[in-house]
Structures are given as C-alpha cells and as structure tokens.
C-alpha cells in the first residue's frame, strides 16, 4: 500500500506451542480446583448432618444408660434379697442340723466332698431322721459308683455308633439338602426309629420357624431398636416378636404388654420371697409317709416283684392290703386290671382305625339319613371358636356353630341334622338344623347320644347315622351300637371342601419330596360363614 510502512512480524512457532501447553495445563488445574471445592462443600454438608445425628444418638445413649442403671439397681436389690433369704434359710438349717451333719461327715468320709448345704437339705427332707439319711446316702453312693462303671462309652462313640446304624437314612437326608452334621438329626432318627419322612417333616418345620423368626426380626428391627433405646430389657426375643406380630408392630401396645408382664412377675416373685418357709408337724408327717416304707412293706414288694407284679409301689401295696395280703390274689387282680386296660386301649385303637376318613368332598357317605353333632366337643376344635367360648361368649359360640352346620347342610341336603349341647337355652331351629340341650333330662351330651343310639326305633337307622365327635370313649360306645363316627376336625375340613374350597392349602414338606400336607384354614371359614365379630 502506498504511503504506509510495512512492519515485519517475526513469529516463533516453538514459543507459541509452549504458551498453548501452559494455558491448557492452567485450564486443567482450574477444573481440578473446582471439583475439589465441590467435594469439600459436600463433605461439609455431610459432616453437619453427621454432627446433628450424633447429637441425637448421644441423647439416646444417655437415656439408655440411665434406664440401664435403674434396671441394674433393681436387679442388684432383688439379688441381694434372694441372697439374704438363702443365708437366713442356711442359718436356720445349720442351727437345727449342723451338729448332726458334722458327725455324719466324720463317720462317712465319702460324703465329705458333698456341699454342706446339700447335706443340710437332705436332713431337712427326712426331718432329722439320721437312720433314713444314712440309708439315703448309702443308696446314692451305690448308684453313683454304678454310674461311673457304666459310663465308659463316650458321647463321641455313641454318635459314631448311630452314624453307622443310620448310614442309609443319613445319605437320603443329605440328598434332600438337610445338614446331617447337626446333632439333632441323629437324635430325631433314633427317636423316630429311622423314619426319614418324619425327620424331614420335623426339620422342615424347624427351618420354617427359623425363617419366620429371621423375617420378623428384619421386619420389626426399628421397633426392637426403639424398645432397647427406651430401656426395655429384652430377654425372650421370640416372645417380643410374637407380640409385635400380634399387634401389627404397634410399639406403644407392645411396650405396655411387656411392662404389665414384668409387673406381674415381680409381684409374684416378691410374694414368694416374703413367704417364710415354716415346716409344721403335719408337713413333717406327710414327708415321712411319702419317703418312708416299713421293712415289711419292702419285703412284700420284693416278693410281689418276684411273682411278676410291677408298677407303682404305693398302688401295689394298697391292692396287696385290700387282698388280705395274699400274693396270689394280688397277682390275679393286677392281671384282671391289666386286661381291662388292654381291652379299653384296643377299643380306642379300633375307633382310631374305623372312623370315616374324609380326604375329599365325595368321601362323605351318600346314604346317610341322620347326623348328630357333639356341640361341646366341636366348640374347641377351631381356634377362633375356642377363644370366643373361653372369653365368656358361649351363646355366640353356640350360635356360630349352628350357622356353620346350617350352611353345610344346605349343600348336603341330609334329612335330619341335630346339634346337641350339654346345656343351652338357644333352642331355636336354625334353618334345617335342630338345636337340642341334653339337660335337664340327661347329664351330658354323651348320655343323650348313647340313649338315642340304643332306642329300638333307631336300631336299623344306626347304620345310616353319623355321630360327629372326637371323644374316644363315646365313639367306642356308639360304634358298638352300629353308628358311624366322623371326627370333629374331619367334619370341619369337609365344611371347607364343601363351602370354601379356596381355603385348602397344599404344602410340600420339602422340595425333593412328592408328598404334600393338606391344611384347611378353619378360622377363615368361620369368619366367612358367621356374621359376628370373632
């Protein structure tokens, strides 16, 4: 350009590159500084919240320590009271029997290792009779020596013996996923004579209970922590979880129940401590009669044992004296009583094996004309009805049972159904169901049912008559008359099958077992059928 001077610019490329690198590094430093500032701000906020939380926790801990100190003081006071009571009793026994016990310890060296308070209590038990105490100590020493001789088999050897005995069952249980190293598995196999099904069922129930406990523990963790913070001493955690589950986790209600339980236990414990133990002449006479047998009685018992008579010594001696102290007559009478017991047991076993089993709705016989229900027996089968009856609401329970029977017969269409109670004033017919009272004509429902079965006009009908009861003695009498028996629980289960089949639950015992356990929700059945608050 004309009139203007051109100034040459010398550009150093290396210098420009270094400046660019410097600027880029400074930019990264600024970014790191900004992120550090943000982190410090977040840390400051967290620290502020932590200080606030720690302050609340410190207050809670101080309250817990104060409550614990109060409880510790009460526990120490109660322990000192119990200790003082023991010392007073020891002093009384020492005053009464101290010299005699010292003499016995010098005469019998083997009892010197026994605690002195134990010897004093033995003297008190026999009311100071030295000869009886000598005999007792001699028998005790013989038994102790015999036990030492027969205790050579250790627990480990016994365990190995059981392992070899039930090797097949242990392998089957291990395949089913059960920990066979648990000592209780061997105990259960020995108890159930190697029945794997029973052991699996028991272990599955134990596992279910354990899982339920863990579930409740996690569910009510906050309430448990709050109770501990408030100074509630939790000794039985299962009881606490049951109360929380029963009250749907209501903290205040559970706290009140625990305090009431503690007050009740403390009250009775204090009453027991305040009661002084004074042995009267009558009490001493009773103890002597209980602990002392004459030499003639002991010899008679030995002869009766040799003759094959076994059982309660006092009862055997009573029968022996009633039979004019004749061993032959006593033996005959004992055998007759044993036969009668066996006959009664056989009748009960016969009832167990011949009652009608109802596993499905169609298992109910189709040619039934009459059904009699033992109302007093059936009121205690379902938990909700039992609680209602025990809470002094017997009329409501009778009415609820009548409505369930009526709803059941509306589906079954049985010509004659009668519900009988021992004593009731609610004699109104509910639908097709007749409600009856055994009193005043009969003493109990059992007497009325037996009388009905023995009436001449019912002889032919008994084979088409069902009695619903769980009373074994009554069932045996009615079966002799030709009646059919259905247990009370089986009848309620049939109600579930007929009225509410959705309440049937099929539970598998374990994942590897094809068998299932059928459960019927009887409480829900009652809630659906009965229109009262249960």
Mean pLDDT of 401-413: 90
Sign of CA dihedral 178, 179, 180, 186: negative
Q: How confident is the model at residue 1 (pLDDT cuts 50, 70, 90)?
A: very low
Residue 288 has pLDDT above 50, yes or no: no
Mean pLDDT of 321-335: 86
Position 531 scores a pLDDT of 67
Q: Which residues 6+ apart lie within 8 Å of 522 measured at CB?
A: 381, 382, 383, 384, 492, 493, 496
Q: Which residue has the tokens 């009908």?
A: 461
Residue 82 has pLDDT above 70, yes or no: yes
Position 158 scores a pLDDT of 81
Q: Which residues 6+ apart lie within 8 Å of 524 measured at CB?
A: 500, 503
Specify the higher pLDDT residue, 287 or 181: 181
Position 278 scores a pLDDT of 46
Position 406 scores a pLDDT of 92
Specify the higher pLDDT residue, 457 or 281: 457
**Which residues, in sequence order, are bridge partners of residue 420?**
374, 436
Mean pLDDT of 301-316: 84
Residue 467, Cβ neighbours under 10 Å: how many? 27
Sign of CA dihedral 478, 480, 481, 483: positive
Position 432 scores a pLDDT of 86
Q: What is the pLDDT of residues 151-205, one digit of tens each?
A: 445 677 788 888 888 888 888 888 888 888 888 888 888 888 888 888 888 888 8
Residue 7 has pLDDT above 50, yes or no: no
Q: What is the mean pLDDT of the chain?
A: 79
Alpha helices by DSSP H, listed for 220-356, are 221-229, 237-246, 251-274, 281-291, 295-306, 313-322, 327-354
E strands within 252-378? 370-374
Mean pLDDT of 362-380: 87
At 276, list the tokens: 């002084």
Q: What is the pLDDT of residues 128-155, one digit of tens each?
A: 888 888 888 888 777 766 555 444 456 7
Question: Distance (Å, rounded) from C-alpha 24 to C-alpha 17?
Answer: 11
**Which residues, in sequence order, are bridge partners of residue 484?**
466
Report the range of poorest mean pLDDT among 47-51, 62-66, 229-233: 62-66
Ranges of each domain in the chain: 13-145, 156-211, 220-274, 293-352, 358-529
Q: What is the pLDDT of residues 236-266, one digit of tens each?
A: 888 888 888 888 888 788 888 888 888 887 7
Asked: is 358-529 a CATH 3.30.70 domain? The reply is no
Position 145 scores a pLDDT of 62
Residue 513 has pLDDT above 70, yes or no: no
Position 146 scores a pLDDT of 57
Q: What is the pLDDT of residues 98-123, one digit of tens each?
A: 888 888 888 887 787 788 888 888 88
Question: Distance (Å, rounded) from C-alpha 316 to C-alpha 331?
Answer: 10
């Amino acid at each position: 350009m004309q009139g203007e001077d051109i100034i040459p610019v010398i550009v150093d490329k290396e210098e420009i590159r270094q400046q660019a690198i410097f600027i880029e590094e400074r930019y990264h430093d600024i970014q790191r500084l900004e992120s550090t500032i943000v982190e410090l701000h977040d840390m400051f906020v967290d620290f502020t919240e932590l200080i606030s939380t720690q302050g609340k926790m410190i207050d809670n801990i101080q309250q817990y320590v104060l409550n614990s100190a109060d409880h510790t003081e009460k526990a120490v006071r109660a322990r000192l009271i119990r200790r003082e009571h023991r010392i007073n009793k020891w002093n009384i026994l020492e005053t009464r029997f101290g010299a005699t016990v010292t003499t016995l310890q010098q005469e019998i060296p083997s009892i010197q290792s026994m605690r002195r308070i134990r010897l004093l209590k033995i003297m008190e038990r026999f009311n100071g009779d030295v000869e009886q105490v000598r005999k007792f100590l001699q028998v005790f020493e013989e038994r102790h020596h015999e036990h030492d001789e027969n205790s050579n088999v250790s627990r480990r050897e016994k365990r190995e013996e059981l392992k070899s005995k039930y090797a097949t069952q242990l392998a089957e249980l291990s395949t089913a996923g059960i920990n066979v190293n648990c000592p209780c598995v061997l105990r259960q196999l020995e108890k159930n004579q190697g029945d794997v099904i029973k052991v699996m069922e028991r272990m599955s129930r134990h596992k279910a209970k354990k899982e339920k406990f863990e579930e409740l523990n996690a569910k009510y963790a906050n309430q448990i922590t709050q109770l501990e913070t408030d100074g509630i001493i939790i000794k039985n955690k299962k009881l606490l979880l049951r109360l929380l589950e029963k009250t749907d986790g209501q903290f205040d209600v559970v706290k009140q129940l625990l305090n009431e339980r503690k007050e009740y236990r403390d009250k009775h414990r204090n009453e027991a401590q305040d009661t002084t133990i004074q042995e009267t002449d009558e009490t001493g006479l009773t103890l002597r009669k209980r602990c002392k047998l004459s030499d003639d009685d002991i010899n008679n018992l030995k002869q009766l044992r040799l003759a094959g008579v076994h059982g309660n010594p006092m009862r055997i001696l009573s029968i022996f004296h009633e039979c004019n102290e004749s061993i032959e007559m006593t033996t005959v009478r004992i055998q007759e009583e044993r036969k009668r017991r066996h006959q009664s047991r056989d009748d009960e076993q016969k009832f167990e094996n011949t009652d009608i089993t109802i596993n499905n709705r169609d298992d109910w016989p189709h040619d039934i004309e009459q059904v009699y229900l033992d109302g007093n027996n059936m009121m205690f089968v379902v938990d909700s009805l039992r609680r209602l009856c025990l809470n002094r609401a017997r009329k409501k329970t009778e009415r609820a049972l009548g409505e369930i029977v009526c709803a059941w017969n509306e589906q079954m269409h049985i010509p004659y159904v009668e519900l009988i109670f021992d004593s009731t004033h609610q004699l109104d017919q509910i639908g097709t169901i007749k409600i009856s009272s055994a009193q005043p004509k009969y003493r109990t429902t059992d007497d009325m049912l037996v009388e009905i079965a023995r009436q001449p006009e019912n002889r032919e009908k008994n084979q088409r008559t069902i009695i619903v009861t769980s009373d074994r003695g009554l069932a045996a009498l009615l079966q002799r008359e030709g009646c059919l028996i259905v247990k009370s629980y089986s009848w309620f289960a049939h109600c579930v099958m007929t009225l509410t089949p959705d309440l049937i639950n099929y539970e598998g015992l374990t994942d590897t077992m094809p068998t299932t356990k059928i459960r019927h929700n009887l409480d829900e059945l009652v809630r659906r059928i009965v229109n009262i608050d249960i």
